[in-house]
Amino acid sequence: MDKNSFVISETDLTLEDIAFFLKNNPAIALDPLTVKKIKTSRKIIEDIIKSEKVVYGVNTGFGKFADVKIKKDETAELQRRLVLSHAAGVGEPMPLEIVRLMMLLKVKNLSQGYSGVRLEIVQFLIAMLNKNITPFVPAKGSVGASGDLAPLAHMAAVMIGEGETLIKEKGCIKYLNGGEALKKAGLTPLTLAAKEGLALLNGTQAIQAYGLWSLVQARNLIKIADIVGCITLEGLLGTLTAFDARIQQVRRHPGQQKTAENFRKILTESPIIESHRYSDNKVQDAYSLRCIPQVHGAVRDALDYVQAVFEWEMNGVTDNPLVFPDNGDVLSGGNFHGEPVALAADYLGIIMSDLANISERRIEHMLDPSVSEMAGFLTEEGGLNSGFMIAQVTAAALVSENKVLAHPSSVDSIPTSANKEDHVSMGNFAARKAAEIIQNVEHVLAIELICACQALDLRTPLQPSKTTQNVLDIVRASIAYWKEDRFMHRDIVLAKDLCRSGKIVEAAEKVCGCLN
Beta-strand pair 27-30/5-8: parallel
Phi, psi at residue 201, to the nearest 5°? -85, -30
93 pairs with which residues across the strands? 138
3-class DSSP state for residue 175? strand
C-alpha 61/C-alpha 75 separation (Å) is 10
Helices (H) and strands (E) in the chain, counts: 21, 9
Phi, psi at residue 185, to the nearest 5°? -90, 0
As annotated, the active-site residues are 56
C-alpha 124/C-alpha 430 separation (Å) is 30
- Rounded to a whole number of angstroms, the CA Rg of the chain reads 26
Closest CA to 336 of 483, 199, 211, 228: 199
3-class DSSP state for residue 430? helix
Q: At what angle do helices 149-159 and 75-86 cross, to 10 degrees?
A: 120
Q: Which are the contacts of 164, defined by CB distance < 8 A and separation ≥ 6?
A: 135, 136, 158, 175, 176, 177, 178
Q: At what angle do helices 427-458 and 466-476 cross, to 10 degrees?
A: 100
Closest CA to 151 of 130, 167, 133, 136: 136
Based on the number of CB atoms within 10 Å of its own CB, is 67 exposed (0-12), middle (13-18) or buried (19 or more)? exposed
